[in-house]
Amino acid sequence: MTETIPAITEIIRRCTSFLITTHESPDGDAIGSSLGLASFLRAIGKDVCVHYKDPVPDLYAFLPGSDAVCAHIPGRDFDAAFVLDIGERRRAGEEFCSFSRCGTVINLDHHLTCETFGDVNLIDCQAAATGVLVHRVMAHYGYAVDRQTALCLYVSIITDTGSFRYSNANREAFSIAGEMIEAGVNAWDVAEQLYENQPQKRLELLARCLPTLEVFAGGQAASVTVTLDMYAVTGADADLTDGFVNYPRSIRGVEVAIFYRQLSENRWKVGFRSKGKVNVAAFSRAMGGGGHHNAAGCTIDGTLDEVRDTVRAIVESSL
Ligand SMILES: [Mn+2]
């Protein structure tokens, strides 16, 4: 892997035009790492097109370059393509997957199970965020980071480490963040953009969600629920439920948090979060879903009571 980075910087020197993409429903790392890479490549005079399958959420519209992301890939040749934070290639969307004029494909990722579909693959699950890998490439290239690029990389790291709270918040993550602050990023400005900028509707939805709290399994599991009725009353939508599951998880003694989100009359998305001791991927797999040790989910058909009974039985039997 150590020889991978020189191979990538060599491609950057040799090539002129770059396509950059990331996964569907892009999150802070997907957006921060891809816009940070785009900002760096533009700063050294390259021709760059960033394509996402889905639009940039409003929350990240403050990032430089977010307004230039293309919903469609221009019909022309690129010398090279960077695919970031993807896990699985198909998550880039059909348009990218069927696009053949990419040139050399470079895959930068930190998912444990990332597919090695690139001509060059820089995959390191020790990296706190894909933005860290972008930083390693830039550092090897010898680029002294500018403020715009720094802002993007800082956001990629702060979001993927849960503001430096998760177990992936290692020395390298803090060190790069420190460097980004030195490059002119203001930590409070970023925090204000990301966390002090909620639509009122989200709080109104949360106010209806929290009374559904149920604690069970002797205090080791807790759930909250959002129904279609709650969206109708508040005018909020599913996008605004991000993070709701952290409330039941935050209770002292709770090891497993569950979030029931109604998709249609008799269909529910069930999200699981663990504090670390319990592998919630086992629960979701038992119900036809997937995920990771600390975060997993599945979709279940039935009334809320039926779905809750099924989930509680599985969780209670293993706690
Ligand atoms: Mn990531």
Instruction: Please give the distance, rounded to the nearest whole angstrom, from the Cα atom of residue 241 to the centre of ligand 1.
Output: 20
Going from the C-alpha of 93 to that of each of 22, 71, 107, 208, the distances in angstroms are 9, 11, 15, 34
User: What is the pLDDT at residue 222?
Assistant: 98
Q: Within this chain, do residues 131 and 24 fall inside the same structural domain, yes or no?
A: yes
Instruction: Please give the distance, rounded to the nearest whole angstrom, from the Cα atom of residue 319 to the centre of ligand 1.
Output: 30
Instruction: Please give the distance, rounded to the nearest whole angstrom, from the Cα atom of residue 283 to the centre of ligand 1.
Output: 23
Q: Within this chain, do residues 170 and 307 fall inside the same structural domain, yes or no?
A: no
Instruction: Please give the distance, rounded to the nearest whole angstrom, from the Cα atom of residue 226 to the centre of ligand 1.
Output: 26
> In angstroms, rounded to a whole number, what is the distance separating the alpha carbons of residues 46 and 171?
31
User: What is the pLDDT at residue 291?
Assistant: 77
Q: Within this chain, do residues 90 and 188 fall inside the same structural domain, yes or no?
A: yes
Instruction: Please give the distance, rounded to the nearest whole angstrom, from the Cα atom of residue 246 to the centre of ligand 1.
Output: 19
Q: Within this chain, do residues 312 and 224 fall inside the same structural domain, yes or no?
A: yes
Instruction: Please give the distance, rounded to the nearest whole angstrom, from the Cα atom of residue 162 to the centre of ligand 1.
Output: 11
Q: Within this chain, do residues 66 and 169 fall inside the same structural domain, yes or no?
A: yes
For residue 215, list its beta bridge partners: 222
User: What is the pLDDT at residue 71?
Assistant: 97
> In angstroms, rounded to a whole number, what is the distance separating the alpha carbons of residues 268 and 183?
45
Instruction: Please give the distance, rounded to the nearest whole angstrom, from the Cα atom of residue 155 to the centre of ligand 1.
Output: 11
Mean pLDDT by groups of 10 residues along the chain of 319 residues: 87 98 95 98 98 95 98 97 94 96 96 87 95 98 98 97 93 98 98 95 98 98 98 95 95 98 97 94 89 88 97 94
Q: Within this chain, do residues 103 and 225 fall inside the same structural domain, yes or no?
A: no
Q: CB 136: neighbour CB atoms within 10 A?
A: 20
Instruction: Please give the distance, rounded to the nearest whole angstrom, from the Cα atom of residue 30 to the centre of ligand 1.
Output: 6
Q: Residue 210: what are its φ and ψ, rounded to 5°?
A: -60, -35
Of 195, 214, 234, the domain-final residue: 195
Instruction: Please give the distance, rounded to the nearest whole angstrom, from the Cα atom of residue 125 to the centre of ligand 1.
Output: 10
Q: Within this chain, do residues 162 and 255 fall inside the same structural domain, yes or no?
A: no
Q: Residue 265: what are its φ and ψ, rounded to 5°?
A: -35, -60
Going from the C-alpha of 16 to that of each of 64, 141, 243, the distances in angstroms are 21, 15, 40
- Span between the terminal Cα atoms of the chain, in Å: 40
CATH number at residue 223: 3.10.310.30
Number of separate domains in the chain: 2
Instruction: Please give the distance, rounded to the nearest whole angstrom, from the Cα atom of residue 270 to the centre of ligand 1.
Output: 22
Q: Within this chain, do residues 118 and 210 fall inside the same structural domain, yes or no?
A: no
User: In sequence order, which residues have a C-beta less than 8 Å from that of residue 57 and are 6 or more positions away?
Assistant: 26, 239
Instruction: Please give the distance, rounded to the nearest whole angstrom, from the Cα atom of residue 112 to the centre of ligand 1.
Output: 11
Instruction: Please give the distance, rounded to the nearest whole angstrom, from the Cα atom of residue 60 to the centre of ligand 1.
Output: 15
Q: Within this chain, do residues 37 and 110 fall inside the same structural domain, yes or no?
A: yes
User: What is the pLDDT at residue 108?
Assistant: 97
Instruction: Please give the distance, rounded to the nearest whole angstrom, from the Cα atom of residue 22 to the centre of ligand 1.
Output: 10
Q: Within this chain, do residues 168 and 255 fall inside the same structural domain, yes or no?
A: no
Instruction: Please give the distance, rounded to the nearest whole angstrom, from the Cα atom of residue 160 to the centre of ligand 1.
Output: 6
Domain encompassing residue 77: 4-195
Residue 160 burial (CB < 10 Å; 0-12/13-18/19+)? buried
Give 230-255 pLDDT, tens digit per residue. 999 999 999 899 899 999 999 999 99
Q: Within this chain, do residues 185 and 223 fall inside the same structural domain, yes or no?
A: no
Of 195, 225, 251, the domain-final residue: 195
User: What is the pLDDT at residue 2?
Assistant: 53
User: What is the pLDDT at residue 167?
Assistant: 87
Q: Within this chain, do residues 208 and 115 fall inside the same structural domain, yes or no?
A: no
CATH number at residue 175: 3.90.1640.10
Of 157, 173, 195, the domain-final residue: 195
